[in-house]
Amino acid sequence: MALTAHQQNIRVQIIAVVVGIVLLAAKFAAYYLTHSNAILTDALESIINVVAGVVALMSLYLAALPRDQNHPYGHGKVEFLSAGFEGTLIALAGAVIAAKSIYNFFHPHELHQLDVGLGLTAVAGAINYAVGAVMVRNGRNTNSITLIAGGKHLQSDAYSSLGLVIGLIIIYFTQQIWLDNVVALVFGGIIVYTGLQIVRHSVAGIMDELDYELSANIIKILDEHRSMNWVDIHNLRIVKYGAHLHIDCHLTIPWFMSVRDGHEQSEKVARLIAEKVDSSVEFFIHLDPCLPPDACQICIKRDCLLRQHPLQKRIAWELDNVLRNSRHGVETMQH
């Protein structure tokens, strides 16, 4: 039997946690052998990977729970909290790494067996990138911010490992030990930046910040598949609940349509978005009657027997006009 999207996400996250634990042991073994401050930065971040992975696994489980009386929109918002927690841990780890790097400028120590450390770090980085790519792909397919955040974190960890390997190669051949602290300091800063970006994205989700790319895509779909009975769409709003989307909008239809006909037009809009957008979508549509003669000037319904004004212009639905809480008409055409 095929797995549901939530089950797939949980399975991928379990794999990520198990791999993270194995890589954590490998990186600390590399640090024990080399005493490299730069390798320690990689190992410390792996602790964050494991802790964040466990928290993400819990959030995916909670997000998969069905709606109940206390959570009428479901539990999907917990994914934003999980991503925020992970981003905070990442930023703190980067700050600790940077601080230790500065300390070691004044209290240097000898490095050992850099060749072994290089090999372990390179292999761990490659595995991290592969697992991260799988997580990002599955996260985008299921609109899971938790998987996307975790996957991007692992990919950034892999990039850090690549830079770390390059830095250690330079140190190995030049024997300039102080470069170890420079490499660690640079990648500590990169890790802090990565964590803050994840936190910023999670806060945006909690605050229901407008997703311009998603909104533009949905509006484009509505415009390209517009029915002649959809005179106007405006006041469109999108709220994310994990992998679920809740969409509100006002749909203007011919004033003479029955309640049954209006309901059918609403269902057509909802079915269109559910079909074209790979997500669980819930539509709340407020129906407005058209107001002749202004509405007639933008109405594309050719067989309307009650038209009071000829069509002057088909208004393209775009972010600027569909998001506004105002009907389109002569004013829109003039602007």
What are 214-232's pLDDT values in tens digits? Answer: 899 999 999 999 999 999 9
User: What ranges do the domains of the chain cover?
Assistant: 5-206, 212-334
CATH of domain 212-334: 3.30.70.1350
Residue 57's pLDDT is what?
Answer: 84
Of 109-118, 121-130, 213-222, the poorest mean pLDDT is in: 109-118
- The 8-class DSSP code of residue 135 comes to H
Highest mean pLDDT among 8-12, 77-81, 283-287: 283-287
CATH H-level, domain 5-206: superfamily: Cation efflux protein transmembrane domain (1.20.1510.10)
Topology alike, domains 5-206 and 212-334: no
Q: Provide the greatest CA pair distance for the chain.
A: 89
Long-range pairs for 60-68 at CB < 8 Å and ≥24 separation? 60/6, 60/9, 60/10, 60/13, 60/144, 60/146, 60/147, 61/10, 63/6, 63/144, 63/146, 63/242, 63/243, 64/6, 64/7, 64/9, 64/10
Nearest Cα neighbor of 79 from 26, 145, 4, 32 is 145
Q: What is the pTM of this model?
A: 0.68
Q: What is the DSSP string of 302-326?
A: TT-TT--S-----PPP-HHHHSSSS
Instruction: Report whether pLDDT(335) > 50.
Output: no
Residue 108's pLDDT is what?
Answer: 67
Percent composition of the chain: helix, strand, coil (DSSP 3-state, to 5): 65, 10, 25
Residue 38's pLDDT is what?
Answer: 66
Residue 334's pLDDT is what?
Answer: 46
Residue 231's pLDDT is what?
Answer: 94
Residue 333's pLDDT is what?
Answer: 46
Counting beta carbons within 10 angstroms of the beta carbon of residue 275, is it exposed (0 to 12), middle (13 to 18) or buried (19 or more)? exposed
Higher pLDDT, 4 or 195: 195
